[in-house]
Structure 1
Amino acid sequence: MTVSILVPSSLSREAEDKREATRKLGYVARAATVFRADRLLVYPDRDGETGRFDGGFVETVLRYAATPPYLRNEAWGMRDELEYAGVLPPLRAVSQTGSESNGSGSSRQGIVTEVGPEGRVRVNCGLQHPISLNVPPKMAVEEGERVTVRISSRRPVRAKLEDVPLPGLAVERTDLSTALGREDAGVCIAASRFGEELTVGRLETLAGRIEGDGMTVAFGAPERGLPDILEIEASAVGAPKDAAAGEDDGVEPTADPGFDLWLNTVPDQGSEVVRTEEALFATLASLSLRE
């Protein structure tokens, strides 16, 4: 099951300063980690961006937050966007490293520090020292490149390079339609206070589909919900598409062709505004429940 989260480039638009903007983004990355999201995607909302905290700032801070702590200095160095990186809450992503030599263990990110002769490289992967590893056939690596290392034992060290995507939370910039059109997008949900209220019965209908197909959940920005960003009337949210085109799978089509449904996961909210990071925790907690 693949879980993707979509947040706008205007995510930090209401932050008073860079420190507060950084902290806010840290809680977004933490929510994505707590609920085991595979991708955290930043989509453009240029009309809602401020000059200080645009999409480049949002992406950089989120990518830094998702970088394993043992690689941050080497991977990022000094960047103006990361001036207040110290306020980011630790993600403490779950890792289970095995001790067997039969290929089991955990995958973790590493950085190639040196490319040597005879198909060997030295990799910093958070152990006491960089380790020397063979490069798999047909895999080309360069100095400074991030790679996936599978560690089957720490004492003695037994590890190997794997030609697979990097483990952990992936942060990317993309447009909304591309993200919703991916083959593994699963159930595409727009989180909005104008959507259908999430109930126990509705969740029961969704749970089986989400567990099988995965999900992509999109969120709006402070004072700019998804209807504003997409320039559609709030009254059109949840309106049926061509009924003949839909299937009776418990997911109702909506006015926007990119989403399967619009969902209000904080019904009867007690505050006029639910912040994006708060909406992430409320939404993902509900949608992570199983049948």
Structure 2
Amino acid sequence: MAIPGSILDNAQTKELRTYLAGQVARAAVIFQVDEIVVFDDQLGNSVSTGAPKKRAHDCHVFMARILQYLETPQYLRRALFPMHSDLSCAGLLNPLDCPHHLRAQEWSVYREGVVTDRPLKDKEGSHVYVGLQREVVVDKRITPGIRVTVKIDEASKDFKKKMVGKLVSSAEPREHLGVYWGYTTRFAPSLSNVWSDCPFPGGYDLKVGTSERGNVSVDDPSFSLPKFRHALIVFGGVAGIEECVDADEKVPVSGEDSNTLFDMWVNTCPEQGSRTIRSEEALLISLAALRPHVKRSGRAQ
């Protein structure tokens, strides 16, 4: 899913901005989102006159840092996140409690870890701290301080023998076991970069825009999503996707023609009882409404 960081500028204090970013993360993991793209809609840096507005923080960097911090297992945060003012209110955040946020005595063949600077005497390789009493030895030399996903040898299950494992892709737990393994966070400098910088070969084969002016409603009995492998759901800021499109000079259409940028232009909450739906509310409403359709149509071969 993609969302502009400027939604945080609608919060009055750092505490509220932190909590709002946490709500985005919670919504993402509840509905098993694999990637969150924080994009700069060019609306958070200007006032109505169009002149630059100096701010003590960058809302996009702030949101991305909070999202990355929350997705990281608690036992790795001290090693991966140095002290930073953006994290000064992190104590207010509700934990995500994802499957990869494992407890110290909880066994899993896969674990997230960080490479330590402890040397190996006998052979090439690295020690990886995975939140257990003993570090895991892998057979590749990796730069210390890098976060990795480790598959631990089943013989190490009793926690008494030497912990041995191998480095694997962070996507492997989901692909092999069907276990949700958190999300990645990506920053896009503009709306157009959201899909042009897509990390998946072939890009997103289904792009869904959400708007109260959508030409398709989830309440339609015939509503369905086409088959896809990588779907992208885009949310607008305070004024919607249309304003984001108008502010992006790289997009060749005007805001009123925003629907042409997407494969589907969907109203996920028809007949709303409030004039406005806040971004954090739109996330939960839209992801909940689309979830059964995503489960039916996803992972097309």
User: TM-score band, normalised by the shorter chain?
Assistant: 0.7 to 0.9
Normalized per residue, the structure richer in strand is 1
CA distance in 1, matches of 2:183, 2:164: 22
Aligned to 1:127, what secondary structure does the other structure show? coil
Verify the 8 A CA contact 2:245 2:255 in the aligned structure 1: no
Normalising by structure 2, what TM-score?
0.76
Q: One-letter code of the match for 2:232?
A: T
- TM-score w.r.t. length of structure 1: 0.78
Gaps of 5+ in 1: 98-103, 238-253
**2:73–2:100: 8 Å Cα contact kept in structure 1?**
no
Taking the aligned partners of 1:272 and 1:94, their CA distance within structure 2 comes to 38
**Equivalent residue number for residue 213 of structure 2:** 194
Question: In structure 2, which of residues 82, 87, 94 is the aligned counterpart of residue 82 of structure 1?
Answer: 87
Structure 1's 219 and 96: CA in aligned 2 closer, same or farther, altered over 3 A?
Answer: closer
Deviations 1:179-236 (A, max 9, x none): 3243242310111111122224343x21x52xx42310011112x2110011165643
Structure 1 stretch displaced more, 104-113 or 182-191: 104-113
Structure 1 residues 181-260: aligned runs within 5 Å: 181=196, 182=198, 183-196=202-215, 197-203=217-223, 205-206=224-225, 209=227, 212-222=228-238, 224-231=239-246, 235-237=256-258, 254-256=259-261, 259-260=262-263
The 5 A counterparts of 1:75-224 are 75-95=80-100, 105-117=108-120, 118-129=123-134, 131-136=135-140, 140-151=141-152, 152=154, 154-156=157-159, 158-165=163-170, 167-174=181-188, 175-181=190-196, 182=198, 183-196=202-215, 197-203=217-223, 205-206=224-225, 209=227, 212-222=228-238, 224=239
Q: Which ranges in structure 2 are unaligned for 5 or more consecutive residues?
A: 46-52, 172-180, 247-252, 297-301
Structure 1 residue 286 corresponds to structure 2 residue 300: no
Change (3 A) 1:105 1:65: closer
With over 3 angstroms needed to count, the CA separation of the structure-2 counterparts of 1:106 and 1:280, relative to structure 1, is farther
Q: Amino acid of the residue matched to residue 218 of structure 1? A: V
- Is this contact kept in 2: 1:9–1:46, CA < 8 A? no
Deviation of 1:21 (Å)? 0.3
State which of 274, 277, 295 in structure 2 corresponds to 1:274: 277
Deviates more, 1:276-285 or 1:22-31: 276-285
Assess if the C-alpha contact under 8 Å between 2:195 and 2:203 holds in 1. Answer: no
Aligned CA distance change for structure 1 residues 132 and 94 (closer, same or farther; 3 Å): closer
Q: What amino acid sits opposite 2:18 in the alignment?
A: T
Q: 1:179 to 1:235 in 2, by over 3 A?
A: closer
Runs ≥4 in structure 1, deviation > 6 angstroms?
none
Alpha-carbon distance, 1:42 to partner: 0.7
For 1:46 and 1:164, locate their aligned partners in 2 and report how far apart those are by CA, in whole Å.
34
The secondary structure found in structure 2 opposite 1:29 is helix
Aligned residues: 254
Higher mean C-alpha displacement, 140-149 vs 18-27: 140-149
> Do 2:76 and 2:114's aligned partners in 1 also have CA atoms closer than 8 Å?
yes
